[in-house]
Amino acid sequence: MALLEVDDLTVTYGAIRGVSGISLTVEEGEVVALIGANGAGKTTTLRAISRLVPSRGSIRFAGRDLTRLRPHEVTALGVVHVPEGRGIFPRLTVMENLELATWTRRRDREGIRRDLRRVFDLFPRLEERRDQVANTLSGGEQQMLALGRALMTRGRLMLLDEPSMGLAPVLVKEIFSVIQEISASGTTILLVEQNAHFALKIARRGYVLETGSIVLSGPAGAVAANPRVKAAYLGA
C-alpha cells in the first residue's frame, strides 16, 4: 500500500474543471515530482489532497480516507502543506512562526526542542534571525522559514508547492539541496515545481500534468528524457 493514493480525482470550479480524473501514488520515502505549465492543475491537486478544496474521487493517506476530513484533521494525521507563496505569518517573528507549527504536539517539549535544533542546523540564517519579523526576511529566507515550519509539524508527507518560485538561481540550488536532506531524513515529498530540471533531478518518479489530466508518468529519469517533456519543460 502506498503512503498516498489518489484515484480518479476531479476538482471543478463552477463549469471549469481544475483537474479531471487523475490518479497518482506516492510511496513511503519517495520524492515524487508533479510538473506542468501554469494552469495545468498542479496546485489544485495539492489543495484537494489537503482538503482545502472539495473534490470527487478517492484520496487515501496511510490507508485512511481523507475525503471527508477538514484541513486541520488532515494536518494532524501527518500531511503538511507548504503552499505556493509560502504562507508564513508575515507579522510574527521567525520563532513565533516555528512555534505555531507545533500546536498539535505542544506537550512534547523535548521533541520540539530537538526539532527546532534540526531546523536551525538546516537553516542557520533562521537562527540568526529568530527574533526578526517574517515579512522583513528575503524571499529565500521566507522559503526557508516555510520549510522549517513544515518540519516542526513532524509530518510524514510534505506537499511542496513551487518552492523555487521567485528565488535567485543560487538560492534555488540551496533550497533543493535542503529538500534532498529532508527526504533523506525520512520525510516523503510530493513536489509541485515549474523548474522541471531540478524537480526531476531529485525525484524518484514524476507525473506530467496538462490541462487537468496526467499525460505521462514514470521514473524521473525516463520522464526527463522524454522528447515531449524536454521540449516543453527542459528547454531542449
DSSP states along 72-135: HHHHHHTEEEE-TT----TTSBHHHHHHHTTGGGTT-HHHHHHHHHHHHHH-HHHHHTTTSBGG
pLDDT at 149: 93
- Please say if the pLDDT value at position 97 is more than 70: yes
Collapsing DSSP to helix, strand or coil, 141 comes out as helix
Chain segment 133-177, per-residue pLDDT in tens: 999 999 999 999 999 999 998 899 999 999 988 888 888 888 999
- Calculate mean pLDDT across residues 208-213: 95
| pLDDT class of 233 with cuts at 50, 70, 90 | confident
Residue 149: half-sphere exposure toward Cβ, Cα within 13 Å: 29
Q: Could you give the CA distance from residue 70 to residue 99 in angstroms, rounded to a whole number?
A: 22
Residue 30: half-sphere exposure toward Cβ, Cα within 13 Å: 20
pLDDT at 32: 98
User: What is the Cα Rg of the chain in Å?
Assistant: 17
pLDDT at 235: 64
pLDDT at 207: 97
- Please say if the pLDDT value at position 23 is more than 60: yes
Chain segment 180-210, per-residue pLDDT in tens: 999 999 999 999 998 899 999 999 999 999 9
Instruction: Enter the pTM of the model.
Output: 0.92
pLDDT at 56: 96
Which strands sit side by side in the sheet containing 16-26, from one edge to the other?
16-26, 4-13, 56-61, 64-65
Cβ-count burial 42-73 (b if 16+ within 10 Å, e if not): bbbbbbbbbbbbebebebbbbeeebeebeeee
- Please say if the pLDDT value at position 131 is more than 70: yes
Give the amino acid at 120: F
CA dihedral of residues 32, 53, 62, 24 (deg, nearest 10): -40
62 sits in the region (left: phi over 0; alpha: psi -120 to 50; else beta) called left
- Please say if the pLDDT value at position 115 is more than 90: yes
Q: Could you give the CA distance from residue 209 to residue 87 in angstroms, rounded to a whole number?
A: 24
The residue behind cell 484541513 is 71
pLDDT at 87: 85
Residue 168 phi, psi dihedral angles, 5° rounding:
-65, 150
Q: What is the mean pLDDT of the chain?
A: 93
The residue behind cell 513536489 is 191
User: 4-78+155-233: CATH homologous superfamily?
Assistant: P-loop containing nucleotide triphosphate hydrolases (3.40.50.300)
C-alpha grid cell, residue 179: 529538500
Domain boundaries, the chain: 4-78+155-233, 91-154
- Please say if the pLDDT value at position 15 is more than 80: no
pLDDT at 71: 95
Chain segment 64-86, per-residue pLDDT in tens: 999 999 999 999 999 999 998 87
- Calculate mean pLDDT across residues 206-222: 96
**Helices 139-152 and 109-122: crossing angle, nearest 10°?**
150
| pLDDT class of 125 with cuts at 50, 70, 90 | very high
Chain segment 24-69, per-residue pLDDT in tens: 999 999 999 999 988 899 999 999 999 999 999 999 999 999 999 9
